[in-house]
C-alpha cells in the first residue's frame, strides 16, 4: 500500500515543525481525495441512471435548495477551518516576530549557479559553498539574498522552501531533529545551468559541527 501512495505522500521530515506541515498536507489530501471519489462516483451514477432511453421524455427539475445550501456551507466551513490552521502554522514559520531565538545565523547568498553560506565564528566569518552544516536540535536562522536572479532555497526533508530575490532579504528558520545528510535544491529556473544549483546539508552533533566549523575556517585561508 505504501508503494501505491509513495508518489503522493511526503518523505519523513527531519525538522521539528515538519510533522505539523505533514499533518496539514495529509488532511488536505484526505479531504480532497474523498470528495473527488464521491464526486466522480456520483457523476458515473447519474450518467447511467439518467441516460437516454427509448420512449422516456426528459423533464425539468428545479433541484433542491436545501441540498445546494448544504454543499455550499460544508465546503466553506472546511476551507475556513483549513485557513485558520494554515495561518497559525504560516505565522510560526514565516513571520519573523514568531521566530524562536536563533542560536546560529547563516547568511545565504545565491548566484548563478552557486550557494554561498557564511557563518559568524568566534574568530571571524566562515564561508563555504553548496555543502553546509548545522547542529542537531538547534534553532538556525537563514538570511537569504540573491546576487542576480530569483533562486529557490529548498530543503525538502526540512520542509523549507523560500525564494531568494535580488534586492530583498528573506528569512527562514529550522531546527532539525534528525542527524544525517539532506539535499538542497533550487526551485526556480535560474538559467541554463539551473541543474547545478544544488548542495548538501549535513546535520550533526554540536561537537561535530564545531569541529567542522574550525576545519572549514582553516580551509578558507
Q: How far apart are CA 196 and CA 189, in angstroms?
A: 11
Interval 157-214: pLDDT, tens: 999 999 999 999 999 999 999 999 999 999 999 889 998 899 999 999 999 999 898 8
Q: Give yes or no for a contact between 134 and 140, defined as CB atoms under 8 angstroms apart.
A: yes
Render 112-145 in DSSP notation, one character per residue: TTEEEEEEEETTEEEEEESEEEEETT--EEEEEE
- Helices 65-94 and 18-49 cross at an angle (nearest 10°) of 160
Checking if the pLDDT of 38 tops 80, the result is yes
The confidence score (pLDDT) of residue 1 equals 44
Q: Spell out the SS3 assignment of 190-220.
A: CCCCHHHCEEEEEEECHHHHHHHHHHHHHHH
Checking if the pLDDT of 125 tops 90, the result is no
pTM to 2 decimal places = 0.81
Q: How far apart are CA 172 and CA 99, in angstroms?
A: 8
Q: Give yes or no for a contact between 153 and 108, defined as CB atoms under 8 angstroms apart.
A: yes
Checking if the pLDDT of 4 tops 60, the result is no
Q: Give yes or no for a contact between 128 and 115, defined as CB atoms under 8 angstroms apart.
A: no
| Domains defined along the chain, listed by start | 18-97 (1.10.287), 104-220 (2.60.40.420)
Residue 3 binned pLDDT confidence (cut-offs 50, 70, 90): low
Query: How many residues are given for the chain?
Result: 221
Q: Scan for cell 423533464, then name that residue.
A: 59
Interval 39-81: pLDDT, tens: 999 999 988 888 878 887 877 777 788 888 998 999 899 999 9
Amino acid at each position: 500500500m505504501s508503494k501505491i501512495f509513495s508518489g503522493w505522500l511526503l518523505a519523513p521530515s527531519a525538522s521539528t515543525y515538519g510533522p505539523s506541515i505533514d499533518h496539514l498536507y495529509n488532511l488536505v489530501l484526505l479531504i480532497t481525495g474523498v470528495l473527488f471519489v464521491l464526486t466522480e462516483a456520483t457523476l458515473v451514477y447519474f450518467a447511467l441512471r439518467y441516460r437516454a432511453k427509448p420512449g422516456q421524455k426528459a423533464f425539468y427539475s428545479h433541484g433542491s435548495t436545501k441540498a445546494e445550501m448544504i454543499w455550499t456551507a460544508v465546503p466553506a466551513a472546511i476551507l475556513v477551518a483549513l485557513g485558520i490552521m494554515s495561518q497559525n502554522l504560516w505565522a510560526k514559520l514565516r513571520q519573523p516576530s514568531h521566530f524562536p531565538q536563533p542560536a546560529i545565523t547563516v547568511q545565504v547568498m545565491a548566484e548563478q549557479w552557486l550557494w554561498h553560506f557564511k557563518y559568524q565564528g568566534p574568530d571571524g566569518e566562515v564561508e563555504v559553498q553548496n555543502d553546509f552544516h548545522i547542529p542537531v536540535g538547534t534553532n538556525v536562522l537563514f538570511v537569504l539574498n540573491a546576487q542576480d536572479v530569483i533562486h529557490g532555497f529548498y530543503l525538502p526533508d526540512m520542509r523549507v522552501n523560500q525564494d531568494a530575490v535580488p534586492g530583498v532579504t528573506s528569512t527562514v528558520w529550522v531546527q532539525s531533529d534528525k542527524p544525517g545528510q539532506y539535499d538542497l535544491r533550487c526551485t526556480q529556473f535560474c538559467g541554463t545551468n539551473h541543474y547545478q544549483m544544488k548542495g548538501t546539508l549535513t546535520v550533526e552533533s554540536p561537537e561535530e559541527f564545531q569541529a567542522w566549523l574550525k576545519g572549514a575556517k582553516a580551509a578558507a585561508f
